[in-house]
Structure 1
């Protein structure tokens, strides 16, 4: 195992090629990145659901896993991340995949930037609070960071009604359905279970006409 990989993320290191197929070409991740990045196959599935060409706003970009897959499908991506160290890693990772020219990386707070953002699709994969989420019987939206899921969703829907949200596998689905009622008329939605090698890793919720209708 690589030097510098902490015991907390040891299990994720053994899944490194599920996270980034080009891991050996110089992919960089910090500790949070190891357990927060969307597995590559799931990110590909999410990206394929977007109309193309389109502008995608990745609101919590982390080390760039989702932004890269959106960009590979010829989407232009605005990738927002408050941690400048993660942004540097995401730029490095995008360069490895050859899509750095399709992504505008912004160091900043999504909630402060949201009123000035314009895009066709908003992608939300806010932090789940670390690996401990798996021990909960039900993951509730108030556990999401840096604000609760309702506040995050409301900030996103001010940009567009086409929203993709990646959530823990044990999320309270009744609460997810409640998000639709924050818009009038209520948004269409579709819930998709996401598996890697037969293991349920999370659920993706597609909101809004253009996104929800893509099959």
Structure 2
């Protein structure tokens, strides 16, 4: 019995040593990471599961890229679609997943450095040949764009969005959500919007029934490891009817999955 207890103590001691070494290793690696990024760096495999194979991000990319599990869900809605336009592509998290299941992706970002990072990351996943990377302003390019599905993941204003009790569409950048949606509708009625978890859902619903004709809408809560991370809104054919509870909003079918 004493020998068994001694072995158990030795085993526990080894486990503690391994855990301590792992923590020290993480601390050593994060020494070169800014305090703003450190939290997200520890979640790097949630952002890109192939992170160690050469993924690159800038500081803004760390807190603005869509977690891969959620990006995969967005892409699954577009399986087999012709052209998907990612209007604010950033470092490419969503564009990569769309490219894996769709015919083609147009990835737009106004920042050339982010486009360069997105191109690098697409190569890591082997989908660079399915994406046209464009450096430019979505709003200026919109009149010339043609696509089957349009993905809107505009800047939320940085991590400070969490401090707001109710995030309004006016807080989106570089234009308010209503103006942004109107521009998107001129390209296609099949729109996916990726928004903060604390977004005003009434405002989101208004986007649907203020359209002419009203668009089908589905509001989905996105979780990672059991925690609500964001809200995705599907409009037009991107919304589905077989899931969620149907409601009626001024003639538009609304499915709520939160």
TM (normalized to structure 2)?
0.81
Look up the SS of the partner of 1:91 in the other structure.
helix
Structure 1: which 5+ runs fail to align? none
Q: Quick check: 1:157 aligned with 2:185?
A: yes
Shift of 1:49: 0.7
Which of 183, 187, 198 does residue 226 from structure 2 map onto?
198
Shift of 1:213: 2.5
Look up the SS of the partner of 1:24 in the other structure.
helix
Largest Rg, 1 or 2: 2
Look up the SS of the partner of 1:12 in the other structure.
helix
Shift of 1:6: 1.2
User: Cα 1:47–1:156, aligned 2, differ >3 Å: closer, same or farther?
Assistant: same
Q: Quick check: 1:116 aligned with 2:144?
A: yes
Query: Which one has a larger percent helix, Structure 1 or Structure 2?
Result: 2
Structure 2: which 5+ runs fail to align? 1-28, 243-258
Paired position in structure 2 for 1:85: 113
- Aligned length in residues: 214
> Is the CA contact (8 Å cut-off) linking 2:83 and 2:102 kept in structure 1?
no
Counting only pairs closer than 5 Å after superposition, residues 1-215 of structure 1 correspond to structure 2 as: 1-2=29-30, 4-208=32-236, 210-213=237-240
User: Cα 1:214–1:6, aligned 2, differ >3 Å: closer, same or farther?
Assistant: farther
Shift of 1:3: 5.6
Paired position in structure 1 for 2:12: none
CA deviation digits over 1:82-137, x for unaligned, max 9? 00000000000000000000000000000000010000000000000000111111
The range that moved more, 68-77 or 162-171, is 68-77
Shift of 1:214: 7.2
The range that moved more, 5-14 or 15-24, is 5-14
- How far apart, CA to CA, are the structure 2 residues paired with 1:15 and 1:86? 20
CA RMSD between the two structures: 1.2
- How far apart, CA to CA, are the structure 1 residues paired with 2:31 and 2:116? 20
Shift of 1:53: 3.4
Ranges of 4+ aligned residues in structure 1 off by more than 3 Å: none
- How far apart, CA to CA, are the structure 2 residues paired with 1:27 and 1:137? 34
CA deviation digits over 1:12-68, x for unaligned, max 9? 000000000000011010010000000000000011011513210000000000000
